[in-house]
Structure 1
């Protein structure tokens, strides 16, 4: 695996951030290195980070937060992001795009319809990146892993290839990858950029500055390849963890994307999984679900997740999205318990 990432004036780097501050935490030094090399850099924010209640309550000294309060917080985070990017860019230019999707709502957006994937494809087509810097599928924050799946679906529909580089913030490292060599000047500018996020540092200063001080590492990944599946075998978590979870499945076959969301009742042995005019038949075992695929969907790329439904007290997932063909691999270790109320 290469130890450095060569960039030049011909390159176009797209950094996709689920929330304002993720671009700095994950790629603040990479952005600087790309600009120094003459590459064109764009940051695409999926959300404005508006659903961030505990820092907002602390700073604004109010308990009840309505729609107006959330929009006020979103505006604050947009302003903080502008200051942070100015610190990273120095006298250079960073282009910015904002999708304005619901904070902590990207899983629902992914499962609801194709509009989010179409929007991402439009952004990719308009910018034409040579490199896409994107959240890892293994990130414990549900917005991060859902955005990864959205981006993969959008990239699958594009004819032009690009280098995918994943970053992992809310979990332990995956190992390997491209690590940027230490550079004190870049690190100082990244620290200054992170200091712009006053709203985020208000309750999590030590944790976030520690994350920002880590060596930046990016894992190059290949485009997911469609495989022939007669059946999908999806592992189940232990019973104590899956009872209140929905089973999510995304299948991409050519231009067609199938989304399935279902509750698996205890004691169920056979289950019909419905999506529009398509019904899949599943056999539920103690450790896995076996899903039979019709001929038209057997050549596909598949992702699955056990997703906590309803109101959340804890932001982070116990199990993020998984590539069905990688289910036998080991999952990253859980995040530290002190981060369980994560305010990202």
Structure 2
């Protein structure tokens, strides 16, 4: 049996391969934008109001934290974590007559996209990343001053961004060489102890030194459920050392999972709700901020010029009507 051939004039013309690829890429981009808009609470989509309603409901159901006071030490893995997570709490403690010290474990010198933006070139070298570390320390100092913390109460340890997990778990005694900067010792002269090796033992020794000197009543550190490896190490360090120095420990969150916090961008009228209501049986608490504290926190965030070039909507999403704290029970 012979098949009937369709006359050429009835055939649908086939698009060139390049055109098909362009159309597929355009469709993927459109779907990505719509998905992002849906989960980020854009009100012109039906899902936008759903996301915003979930955020408001999640925050409203949290217990309110008692105000913090006394001597407070904020452990920040990178320059910006302290402002994003507890910039309002820092102000509140100072307004109540307390003292706040901030220690930065790294100088943020491992974020290559940040270095590309600041250096304005597609390929960056180790020297560019070291300059980025200096720039981010400058930004951190300026942000702290906006929040009311002067330079004397800001400490940089200068350990490698994206290297803390390797240092703490594998290079406790032998120096780790940063894949980003090529350094195996603290390269920054303004650090607490320049030239000291990148080892877990040295990191822990310097944190012990700070805790002994500052003798804080309260330590604020990342949650063990934070998704960033550097933050997890900061959480382990705080959980190990704070009880030894008789300090109460509270956790905060910066990297709470895919797309957290929602919605992205500038929403100062909305609350901040946690990725999950509780961690290991402990409930997150809502720490309310005044309008003035929220406004000053936004100003402090704006000091991080390098970060705002790359992740502005993520940074802005933390400027809300409250912050989040998780009491960490002391292990017997």
- Scaled by the length of structure 2, the TM-score of the pair is 0.62
Q: CA 1:36/1:99 → structure 2, altered by over 3 Å: closer, same or farther?
A: same
Paired residues in the alignment total: 220
Q: Distance in 1 between matches of 2:113 and 2:68?
A: 39
Checking the alignment, whether the CA contact within 8 Å between 1:121 and 1:155 is kept in structure 2 is no
Matched, 1:170 2:255: yes
1:12 to 71, 81, 84: 71
Where 1:63 maps in the other structure, the secondary structure is coil
Alignment of 1:294-309 (within 5 A): none
Stretches of structure 2 that go unaligned for 5 or more consecutive residues are 1-61, 173-200, 261-273, 278-282
Partner of 2:211: 124
Q: Distance in 2 between matches of 1:145 and 1:105?
A: 12
Q: Distance in 2 between matches of 1:223 and 1:117?
A: 19
Q: CA 1:93/1:79 → structure 2, altered by over 3 Å: closer, same or farther?
A: closer
CA RMSD of superposed structures (Å): 1.9
Matched, 1:134 2:221: yes
Checking the alignment, whether the CA contact within 8 Å between 1:116 and 1:150 is kept in structure 2 is no
Q: Distance in 2 between matches of 1:77 and 1:122?
A: 24
Partner of 1:288: none
Could you say which structure has the higher strand fraction?
Answer: 1
Give runs of ≥4 in structure 1 deviating > 6 Å. Answer: none
Partner of 1:150: 237
Where 2:89 maps in the other structure, the secondary structure is helix
Alignment of 1:37-48 (within 5 A): 37-48=96-107
Larger radius of gyration: 2
Q: Distance in 2 between matches of 1:47 and 1:64?
A: 22
Stretches of structure 1 that go unaligned for 5 or more consecutive residues are 226-344
Matched, 1:210 2:317: yes
Q: Distance in 2 between matches of 1:164 and 1:73?
A: 31
- Scaled by the length of structure 1, the TM-score of the pair is 0.60
Q: Distance in 2 between matches of 1:206 and 1:214?
A: 17
